[in-house]
Amino acid sequence: MDADFLIIGGGIAGVSAAARMSELGSVIVLEAEEALAHHASGRSAAMFEPRYGAPAVVGLSLASEDYFRSVPGVLSPRGLLLVAKADASAAFEHDLVAMEFDRISVDEARGIVPILNRETVAMAGYAAHAEDVDTDLLMQGFAREAKARGALIVAKARVTAIAKDGAGWRVISAAGEFTGRMIVNAAGAWADQVAALAGVTPLGFAPYRRSMARIPAPGGHDVSKWPMIFGPGEDWYAKPDAGALIVSPAEEDLMEPHDAWADDMVLAEGLARYEEMVTEPVTRLLASWAGLRTFSPDRVLVIGPDAQKPTFFWLAGQGGYGFQTCPAASRLAADLIGGRTPGLEPALVAQLSPSRFG
Ligand SMILES: Cc1cc2nc3c(=O)[nH]c(=O)nc-3n(C[C@H](O)[C@H](O)[C@H](O)COP(=O)(O)OP(=O)(O)OC[C@H]3O[C@@H](n4cnc5c(N)ncnc54)[C@H](O)[C@@H]3O)c2cc1C
């Protein structure tokens, strides 16, 4: 089967790219697993926090906001609450400025989240600008858009070999052979492995595990309107999730690409950091899971044609920002592939380009 664009990876990066690239030509998405969003894209905290990350990431997130606002139901209010002990003032002050929190009193914070522990919480900040993202709605919307323009999404199609084929590429997958003019590498934690298959020099992506626990609503409170709660220096966070609370140790443990699972010890330590700041103990876990947040060497996404093999296009290194950046990232990918002047500032486009790695 032949297409203009063979997109490898059916997470949010690949599916949003499929929607945008189907405006330019024929698209086939090859996904190794049975379902889309099986890996990082099915395991996120689902937040739109545009002030999170390096400046180039913030640029992409802010450029994505109009799209999010244009699709009813994708964003909904959440807010962020930063809480810290007295001995964490340096990290607290840093986060307060970096993520534009307003300083509030501990009593005000307890008015928002009544289980905060007066004995341990010494400082608090609040920001209204972070919102929940309905990640399923977003994924389905992009997939529907791509399919409506004729894109084919093939599951159980793990790519095992890639070879040059004239001006284009020949790809061998578990679902058969495909040819295409251009490969879009949206393989998440496996981006460097996919590059190596194609004889393209890997860029040094690093997949870091982040674990999550879902716990029952503490003390039987209605948590639905609580903000996301952060420890300083992002050493844990908690967030309402379908009537329960998800708590993450917010670890960054370097891994080989794999189907990640939560580390019990790391989870227990993270839950202890959360428990120290609240009055309700964690009595049981409803579920736990983990995902890989895959970063490039400078922790900024990589979007653009490979410097040596320009028909191999990188769309990788989404780190902890793959959802909140996907509208602008996929638009930029399509602008570059379609030969259009990108809507983003040239300096930002250069910061995202694979050529920055020399
Ligand atoms: C705990 C956690 C919390 C997060 N919170 C947020 C958040 O609040 N907001 C936010 O914006 N982001 C968040 N993220 C980050 C976000 O989830 C990721 O950046 C995003 O999902 C990455 O999408 P992706 O499509 O690049 O990767 P993936 O979703 O991993 O998709 C890559 C796909 O490529 C496929 N693949 C790999 N190799 C092959 C092959 N050889 N052949 C075929 N297919 C292949 C894989 O099977 C996989 O499905 C979080 C991540 C985690 C883990």
Indicate the DSSP class of residue 116: B
| Number of domains composing the chain | 2
Examine the domain organization and report whether 198 and 220 are in the same domain. Answer: no
Q: Which pair of tokens denotes residue 225? A: 């309107």
Once rounded to an integer, what is the mean pLDDT over residues 101-114?
A: 98
**Phi then psi dihedrals of residue 93, to 5 deg:** -65, -40
Examine the domain organization and report whether 308 and 176 are in the same domain. Answer: yes
Alpha-carbon span 5 to 149, nearest angstrom = 13
Once rounded to an integer, what is the mean pLDDT over residues 251-280?
A: 97
Nearest-CA residue for atom 53 of ligand 1: 291
Examine the domain organization and report whether 241 and 341 are in the same domain. Answer: no
- Ligand 1 centroid to 60 CA: how many Å? 17
Q: Which pair of tokens denotes residue 136? A: 């399923």
Examine the domain organization and report whether 104 and 211 are in the same domain. Answer: yes
Q: What's residue 140's pLDDT?
A: 97
Is 58 a domain residue? no
99 vs 323, residue with greater confidence: 323
Residue with tokens 């670890």: 251
Is 258 a domain residue? yes
Once rounded to an integer, what is the mean pLDDT over residues 165-180?
A: 97
Examine the domain organization and report whether 283 and 238 are in the same domain. Answer: yes
Cβ-contact 139, 12 below 8 angstroms: yes
Cβ-contact 175, 207 below 8 angstroms: no
- Going from the C-alpha of 39 to that of each of 12, 33, 74, the distances in angstroms are 10, 9, 21
- Ligand 1 centroid to 322 CA: how many Å? 7
Query: Which of ligand 1's atoms lies nearest the C-alpha of 9?
Result: 34
Once rounded to an integer, what is the mean pLDDT over residues 62-75?
A: 96
Examine the domain organization and report whether 123 and 217 are in the same domain. Answer: yes
Cβ-contact 55, 67 below 8 angstroms: no
Nearest-CA residue for atom 20 of ligand 1: 322
What CATH number does the domain containing 225 carry? 3.30.9.10
Of 243, 278, 295, the residue that ends a domain is: 295
Q: Which pair of tokens denotes residue 322? A: 């793959």
Q: What's residue 72's pLDDT?
A: 94
Is 71 a domain residue? no
Examine the domain organization and report whether 314 and 256 are in the same domain. Answer: no
Query: Which of ligand 1's atoms lies nearest the C-alpha of 47?
Result: 8
**Phi then psi dihedrals of residue 212, to 5 deg:** -145, 145
Once rounded to an integer, what is the mean pLDDT over residues 248-268?
A: 97
Whether pLDDT at 269 is above 90: yes
Alpha-carbon span 240 to 102, nearest angstrom = 21
Alpha-carbon span 332 to 206, nearest angstrom = 23
Is 95 a domain residue? yes
Of the CA atoms within 13 Å of residue 215, those in its CB half-sphere come to 24
Strand order in the sheet with 131-133: 47-48, 131-133, 75-77
Residue-wise pLDDT tens digits, 189-220? 999 999 999 999 999 999 999 999 999 999 99
Whether pLDDT at 223 is above 90: yes
Cβ-contact 21, 29 below 8 angstroms: no
Cβ-contact 228, 238 below 8 angstroms: yes
- Ligand 1 centroid to 188 CA: how many Å? 5
- Ligand 1 centroid to 14 CA: how many Å? 9
Is 66 a domain residue? no
Once rounded to an integer, what is the mean pLDDT over residues 280-291?
A: 96
Nearest-CA residue for atom 37 of ligand 1: 187
Examine the domain organization and report whether 317 and 229 are in the same domain. Answer: no
Amino acid at 220: G
Instruction: Tell me which residue range forms the domain holding 180.
Output: 2-46+135-204+297-357
Examine the domain organization and report whether 151 and 255 are in the same domain. Answer: no
pTM: 0.98
Q: How confident is the model at residue 276 (pLDDT cuts 50, 70, 90)?
A: very high
Testing ligand 1's pocket by substitution, the residue of 293, 295, 300 carrying the most ligand atoms inside 8 A of its CB is: 293
Whether pLDDT at 130 is above 90: yes
Cβ-contact 297, 203 below 8 angstroms: yes
What mean pLDDT is reported for the chain?
A: 97
Q: What's residue 358's pLDDT?
A: 80
Examine the domain organization and report whether 270 and 166 are in the same domain. Answer: no
Nearest-CA residue for atom 52 of ligand 1: 44
Indicate the DSSP class of residue 203: -
Is 60 a domain residue? no
Whether pLDDT at 174 is above 90: yes
